[in-house]
Amino acid sequence: MRTVKYGMEGYEVQLLQYALTRAGHNTGNLDGIFGRRTARALQQFQRDKGLAADGVAGKLTWAALYPYVTGYTLHRDGPETNITLLDMSVVTDIIPCSHLLTSLMLKGLTMRYPLLRVYETGRSVMGRPIIAVALGEGTKTVGYVGPHGADRWPEVFHMLRFAEERAAATVKGDMELYRAVTLHMIPLVNPDGVDLVTGALDPSDSFYAQAQALSANYPQVSFPEGWRANISGVDLNLQYPTGWEAARRIRYRQGFIRPGPRDYAGCEPLIAPESRAIEKWTREMDFDMVLAYDSGYTRWFEDTWGRPGIMLYTDTTDIHAALMNAPRSFP
């Protein structure tokens, strides 16, 4: 993490404000602007932790703030390392999503709930890992895939919160779902695109400049807020083989003929590494059913395997009920 100090702006400042707020220090608005209120909160936090109260978030300060993002602390007791869980939820949505924040939340969840298993399924254009988390020991397997569109990042938090709630319920003795189904989730399908939309990708980064240039071809789409594609300008939901030619033809007629913020289907199916990773993972896992926020993926799954692919709507779909009913849908 970079050193952050007074006068700076950006996502790292927002993450600093997030951690300070969870540590009980009021920074005011979590707006990514390092002003006087954030400086005062940081200095008080540093004093409380026995650090030099210089109002600069360097390596030692970030290390002290880390537990308030992940929800746990580690400390040595002789040769052993012990974990202390903080009295707070790991998952909150008080700042926008990012690849870094998602990774830290997943770290916090797996430390708190060892029954959650995390593994890598592939890499994004920028080389960021596309992470899956598994829960359950049932013989029936279900894939739960997050939003492909970068502008739909709030649903990533919805999935992480579901993972936290189900893991907590299981630990407390609610074993029915855990024993019935093995659930594999990929909350963050499009890490590069999400970072672009939420401001976590530094404007000085060459990938930011590339996306900005591509966006100039479609001035009707706001940048970066309206960005849906991966960082290379390919719409991931349109990348699956089922219906790809028709989708590409329709988008061409609508004017989406080159890479850009949305609706460009690519020059061929599965050319985007993110969609390719999801496709490979789905084939290897051989799911009995999938849940997803994107019709392109569910349509491809149903067409390929002839098994249920359920479209989710964050505000209306009860994920727990869908999973509990899932075994009845299986042959």
Give residue 90's pLDDT.
Answer: 97
Q: Domain limits of the chain? A: 11-85, 96-331
> Count of CB atoms within 10 A of residue 277's CB?
21
Q: Average pLDDT of 249-256?
A: 96
How far apart are alpha carbons 116 and 114 in whole angstroms?
5
Question: pLDDT per residue over 69-97, tens digit each?
Answer: 999 998 877 788 889 999 999 999 999 99
Q: Average pLDDT of 222-236?
A: 97
For the chain, give the percent of residues with pLDDT over 70.
Answer: 96
| Structure tokens given for 166 | 């189900």
**Nearest Cα to Cα of residue 131 among 194, 198, 84, 88:** 194
Give residue 36's pLDDT.
Answer: 96
Structure confidence at residue 46 as a pLDDT band (50, 70, 90): very high
Question: pLDDT per residue over 119-145, tens digit each?
Answer: 999 999 999 999 999 999 999 999 999
Distances in whole angstroms, Cα of residue 93 to Cα of each of 12, 18, 30, 136, 296: 16, 10, 11, 25, 27
Domains 11-85 and 96-331 share a fold: no
Instruction: Say if residue 196's pLDDT is above 80.
Output: yes
The residue assigned the tokens 């609706």 is 263
Q: Average pLDDT of 1-17?
A: 95
To which H or E segment does residue 142 belong?
A: strand 140-145
Structure confidence at residue 330 as a pLDDT band (50, 70, 90): low
Structure confidence at residue 322 as a pLDDT band (50, 70, 90): confident
Instruction: Say if residue 327's pLDDT is above 60.
Output: no
Could you tell me the pTM of the whole model?
Answer: 0.94
CATH class of 96-331: alpha beta
Instruction: Say if residue 328's pLDDT is above 90.
Output: no
Structure confidence at residue 281 as a pLDDT band (50, 70, 90): very high
Structure confidence at residue 115 as a pLDDT band (50, 70, 90): very high
Give residue 54's pLDDT.
Answer: 96
How far apart are alpha carbons 319 and 311 in whole angstroms?
11
**Domain range 11-85, CATH architecture:** Orthogonal Bundle (1.10)
Question: pLDDT per residue over 212-223, tens digit each?
Answer: 999 999 999 999
Do 266 and 232 contact (CB within 8 A), yes or no?
Answer: no
